[in-house]
Structure 1
Amino acid sequence: MKKNILLLFLFSTIQFCFSQSSIDKSAFNVKYYDAKDKWVIFPKKATDSIHPFGFIYLDLQAGFTFNYEGSVRIDNNGKFKLYNKSNEGYTKVRLEPYKTASVFIIPDKIVESFELPIKPEWLTIYQPSNPESIKTLKDYGYHYNHVGACENALIFLEKAYKLNPHFDGLEFELAYAYNHLGQYEKAIPVLDKAISNNPKNYYFFRELGFAYVKQNKIPLAEKTYQKGIKMSDNDFEKSEMALNMAQGYFKLKDRKKFDQWAKITRKYAEPNSQYAQYIDMFEKEWDSPR
């Protein structure tokens, strides 16, 4: 079969968007990353009568992917009908973090009625030869983190951490997941050990400073961010660290310290960037009740 693979990075390009559905939209309640290795349908546009359908899988090189295979019509009685299935090839859609609609997982009986395998033969191409290797576990964690599914990521990252805590990229992904989930007390010891092993990685300082700010350990956060900013060669990362520190002092109502970090934020942030706008907002709200 001819494989016409087209990599699309914006759902809007093939009109997969958030919209009303011909079935109760509450049925579309599964995040796409929880539908890995499943046949699914996406919500249709309000002006359409058919739903895009296909198979979701995880490509460890490219991320979560929707293998678009055709369209499904759902009649007024809720019965699924395969409306169109191309024999010419298929389209691969890279699923964007945070921006993709939830899906409906097609029951196996309906998949079989479409004369489709529960798991396509081509799926084996994307399955790792050693799913329990530390690299594979770290890669799975990375991709789940990348789409905001940090609880899922921890399943793989914590297992990998037991094998080799200093494996390249692992400590950052694990600490990032803990921080994202508000588990700062778990992130801090991971980052302390990571910095002891590799004191030149400013990403460790970025995550550690964030954890300290969230725990209201502002003096520790300031020392950490100062080190991170000093060693970083990335203005965007510097502005993020500075903004977090400015926000910490904003909450403490320490205007002198806030002004110092606001100046640092503006030094590294792009003009009119989101980070610069946050500083503007804090300044406008300084005297308002909080």
Structure 2
Amino acid sequence: MKKLILLSVLCCITLSTFAQKAIGTDTALKFNQRYTKCERKWVVISKSDTSADYSFGYIYIDQQAGFTFDLKGTFKVDKNNSYIVDTTTSKNSSIKYRISPNWRPVALIPQQHFNELHIKPQPDWLKYYYTYTDTVAHNYRWGYTYNDVEEPTIALTYLEPAYKVDAKNPGIAYEMAYAYNALTRYDDAVRIMEPAIVQTPGNHLFYKELGFAYLHKEEYEKAIATYKRGLEHFADKPTESRGELAYDIASIYKKQNNQPEYKNWMTKAKAYTPMDSKYYKLILDAGF
């Protein structure tokens, strides 16, 4: 009986080992890269344990769509750890996918496998997506794109050079302040936003970023004054931005334990906020 059990165990181990080799997993592939760190790189998407194929492709930024994945095809890994392209799935034409913010981590393709996959470090078609001639416009757009995917440090590598050339560009100023606030560099956000508001006083986003910086610097009176100045530039009808500014003022008064002003501004925030806004629900949940 023991021999039969042992034989059964050995058979299971042998079959498991055979299946693992047949499936072909490259343990050198480390699926620990966020797509935002893989612009202009070839990557592999993780597969299930029971799948024999890896999917691979190229990540780049489309000026309008943002981060995009160009699917090249699939490959298997043989017993010598060579990559074998599936010619029925690998295509000359492009199949492009807009990358969602919560896209799973990917692995970079080791360069020694490029020839096996019939790929170049930079695909020929890429030149049509990186043909910018206006460096400031390109840097602004790339900074915006990286801010949009919560990569403010990378965003600033594009935005700071653009700001040096065109400091009066309101889009660049806003994206820089947004990145600085995300990185808790509040003094830098103030430095950028104060002159921007003087130049473009009707931009409600400026008041949000400047007020946010003052708030986190614990300069509460300046934050309140900034939010109130922002409210002066809105029409009387309820809007998301108008309600948010009033709600932020109320939050500061609550932090200061000023109950009369807190209640006053929560009431105003409710009147200023559309009923389908997330701030309206927060106000209702607070009992107003």
Partner of 2:111: 108
Instruction: Work out whether 1:199 is the aligned partner of 2:201.
Output: yes
Change (3 A) 1:23 1:112: closer
Q: TM-score, normalised by structure 2?
A: 0.79
Partner of 2:263: 259
Rounded to whole Å, the distance in 2 between the matches of 1:125 and 1:36 is 15
Greater Cα radius of gyration, structure 1 or 2: 2
Change (3 A) 1:46 1:261: farther
In structure 1, stretches of 5+ residues that fail to align are 1-21, 285-290
Shifted more, 183-192 versus 253-262: the winner is 253-262
Shifted more, 222-231 versus 241-250: the winner is 241-250
Give aligned pairs, total: 261
Rounded to whole Å, the distance in 1 between the matches of 2:75 and 2:245 is 47
Q: What does 1:116-265 align with in structure 2 at a 5 Å threshold? A: 116-130=119-133, 133-232=135-234, 235-265=239-269
Shifted more, 107-116 versus 82-91: the winner is 82-91
8 A Cα contact 2:83 2:117, kept in partner: no
Q: Which has the higher contact order (CA 8 A, sep 6+)?
A: 1
Shift of 1:257: 2.6
Shift of 1:141: 0.7
In structure 2, stretches of 5+ residues that fail to align are 1-24
Shift of 1:28: 1.8
One-letter code aligned to 1:124: K
Report SS of the residue matched to 1:203: helix
Report SS of the residue matched to 2:133: coil
Structure 1 vs Structure 2 CA RMSD: 2.9
8 A Cα contact 1:23 1:74, kept in partner: yes
Overall identity of the aligned pairs, in %: 31
One-letter code aligned to 1:150: P
Q: TM-score, normalised by structure 1?
A: 0.79
Partner of 1:56: 59
Instruction: Show CA shifts across 1:47-81 (max 9, x none).
Output: 75544321000112221111112224457997644
Report SS of the residue matched to 1:104: strand
Instruction: Work out whether 1:91 is the aligned partner of 2:117.
Output: no
Instruction: Show CA shifts across 1:161-185 (max 9, x none).
Output: 1112012411111111111111111
8 A Cα contact 1:128 1:136, kept in partner: no
Shift of 1:280: 5.1
Shift of 1:198: 1.6
Shift of 1:238: 2.0
